[in-house]
Structure 1
Amino acid sequence: MRVRQFLLSTYALNHTYHNWELRRWEGQWFWGQLSEAQHWTTYVRLWENERGQLVGVAHPERRPGNLWLQIHPDYRHLEEEMLRWGEAHLAASDDSAPAKHKLQVEAFDYDRPRQQLLAQQGYTQTPWYGYLRWRLPTQPLPAAPTTAGYVVRALRPGVWSDTERYAAAVRAVFPRSAATAADEARFQTSPSFRYDLHLVAEAADGSFAAFAGLTFEDVNRTAVFEPVGTHPDHRGKGLAQAVMVEGLRRLQALNASMVYVGTGDMIPANRLYESLGFTHYHISHVWEKVW
């Protein structure tokens, strides 16, 4: 909870997700990625100032081989030390040369200080990148496409069949995902999870044809869409757009200040998000060091 509060407070200073948003951090525990105590203490390092206040966090996502830096804007000078810690504790073997080590770190397009630090420390920018898009919830809502034959609704608390169908839809959209109903049920116990903001388009046969999850925090009143997807058997019908528009409508009712969505370089996903008003974005580039 201490890191959670740190992420909330630094958003208020940065006015963007320079650091992680809550859902992504909570997933480190509630998805079981770092939930084992020995992993948590081995792979997560905290930095405090002289008053004992948290000012930096270094950790991987899912597994070693990558390093993420959560940093207070007044303590960016610590990033070099955080990099050295990551290289000593989180480096992975290089696939092409097992005797070597490699580590990946991301830097936003606007973050010249980190880009310069990474270059000085022997990192090179790779071709891999992703978008962090945003829009104001107060913007006019786009028209929702008609969804004849489908019902757009929220997940129901304590309904196991909803959880099973949601997990099945996620696996169908993201083949590399091994999400089970048990995984989803565990994540539903995370502090920021809200059933009323996890929306689905239910087909006539009861399966979930599309989904859009929203995480909303009421300190800065920001929200994040994750995950978003449409089952391969139901694409081309505007279902993802329909569930996202319903999510935006609910965010307006919550008086949200900003809503974000992250994605890779996939053209269809970016086209969808732009059509819904997510026209502002930062690009996060992956940097890598091999030694």
Structure 2
Amino acid sequence: MANSEPVTAADMQLMQGLAQRVTATRPDLVNGDATFGELAWNWGKGHASDGASWTRRLWISGGDLVAWGWTHLPHQVKRSDGSVKDITGAYLAYQVHPDHAALVDEVIDWYDATAADVERTVTPSAADEFALTRWAAHGYETDPASLGDTGSWIQLNQRGLTDLEQPVLPDGFRFRTADEAGPEAAVQAHLDAWAPSTYTAESYQGVRQTAEYRGDLHILVEAPDGTMASSTIMWLDEANRTAEFEPVGTHPDYRRLGLARGMLLHGMHLARAAGAIQMTVACLGAPGHPQARGLYYSVGFREFTRDAPLITTRTERPVGRARRRVHGLDQQTRLRDPPHVCAISTNRE
């Protein structure tokens, strides 16, 4: 298995820039975990604790990032209940600009080389027919865990920010921002909603250090007894005038009171005031996971696109797969000084 180094804040800025460019032209091709907000959230909360198990590669063309891959290698995580979980497989988040679609083969080859000896998963957009064809050619198949009424796959939902309802909370509850409530309350709200969780005060510090985090767009609902009963963070993409809820969670003792619904509506009013004209949020999409989807549909969201989870344990090249050429370069040739595309990696081979 190849060595890895943490993904840097500078890398994240480049990845988010590509997310913005793809969102502007083909938002249906933005892959799972590659949205503007997901990148900030995942990097922010995880880079201190999990960064040693991350490695990335960047493809540059004409001075612009046109593709990237971010591999999460096997590692161990500690959760808030004291339990320890071994992550035994590898996961890839990635994005390729539509104008450079053929680079997906290089991304796949790099991923296969980086995590060759373990089970590998990836979640391309279901709308990216070309990429799905190329993943299949490399031996990737539909992940069985995504099948059936209780399968695990993610749908992305969106709605415009006109004609918003006014938010309503039960008597005694009130909206707060993380700026008002403070870091300790913000962390506890997340832990209560997602227990057992790997989230820590250090995780939140990492989130707050991302350039895109805004404490005034981190919303909480405070119960009469002072408990932060529900919370969400909104990530504002000013270039595309969109905002994304990630994460959204409610304390188990305060569910079914309308808190999350009121919080989402309140958040959308704040996002609109900040300049957004569209909102997005992701959730499990299979029929057996109706709770979050029902909540989001109740405030006007509708499915826009979904991911297509894939998996492979293959370590050898699929029989009969031809070599492909990208930008005039043989796919199996390591990029050194190509005329059009430069691949950059923290992976020390």
So what's the TM-score if we normalise by structure 2? Answer: 0.73
State the secondary structure of the residue aligned to 1:188: helix
Provide structure 1 residue ranges, at least 5 long, that are not aligned to the other structure. 94-100
Q: Deviations over 1:211-242 (max 9, x none)?
A: 12111121111100011111001111100011
Change (3 A) 1:36 1:281: closer
Deviation readout 1:151-170 (Å, 9 max, x if unpaired): 1121226x6xx321221221
Out of 273, 284, 288, the position equivalent to 2:296 is 273
Instruction: Find the counterpart in structure 2 of residue 12 from structure 1.
Output: 24
Which residue number in structure 2 is paired with residue 96 of structure 1? none
Distance (whole Å) between structure 1 residues aligned to residue 282 and residue 166 of structure 2: 22
Shift of 1:32: 3.6
Q: CA deviation at 1:248?
A: 0.8
Q: What are the residue-to-residue correspondences of 1:50-65 with 2, within 5 Å?
A: 51-61=62-72, 65=90
Which of 135, 141, 144 is 2:159 aligned to?
135
Residue 111 of structure 1 and its aligned partner are, at CA, apart by: 1.8
**Bigger Cα Rg:** 2
Contact 2:73 2:115 in 1 (8 A): no
Aligned to 1:98: none
Mind listing any 5+ residue stretches in structure 2 that lack a counterpart?
1-12, 75-88, 147-151, 315-349
Report if the CA contact (8 A) 2:232-2:247 is conserved: yes
The alignment partner of 1:79 has SS state of helix
- Secondary structure of residue in 1 paired with 2:169: coil
2:28–2:127 CA contact under 8 A, matched in 1:
no
Distance of 1:198 and 1:283 partners within structure 2: 25
2:37 is matched with 23
What does residue 108 of structure 2 align with?
Answer: 83
- Say if 1:231 and 1:38 are closer, same or farther in 2 by CA, change over 3 A: closer
Deviates more, 1:67-76 or 1:6-15: 6-15
More strand by proportion, 1 or 2?
1
Alpha-carbon deviation of 1:26? 2.5
Is the 1:221–1:256 Cα contact (8 Å) retained in structure 2? Answer: yes
Match of 2:139 in 1: 122
TM-superposed deviation, 1:143: 4.5
> For each residue in 1:158-202, what CA deviation from the matched residue of structure 2 results, as whole angstroms up to 9, or x when unmatched?
x6xx32122122122212422122321231121011111111110
Structure 1: how far apart are the matches of 2:67 and 2:218? 31
Counting only pairs closer than 5 Å after superposition, residues 1-291 of structure 1 correspond to structure 2 as 1-16=13-28, 18-19=30-31, 20-33=34-47, 43-49=55-61, 51-61=62-72, 65-91=90-116, 101-126=118-143, 127=146, 128-138=152-162, 140-156=163-179, 162-265=182-285, 266-291=289-314
Distance 2:261 2:51 in 1: 40
- Answer yes or no: is the 8 Å Cα contact 1:155–1:198 preserved in 2: yes
Deviation at 1:142, TM superposition (A): 2.9
Q: Residue 97 of structure 2 aligns to which amino acid in structure 1? A: H
Q: CA RMSD in A?
A: 2.2
8 Å Cα contact 1:4/1:25 also seen in 2? yes
Q: Helix, strand or coil for the counterpart of 1:281?
A: strand
1: CA distance between counterparts of 2:52 and 2:302?
42
Tell me the number of residue pairs that the alignment of Structure 1 and Structure 2 aligns: 276
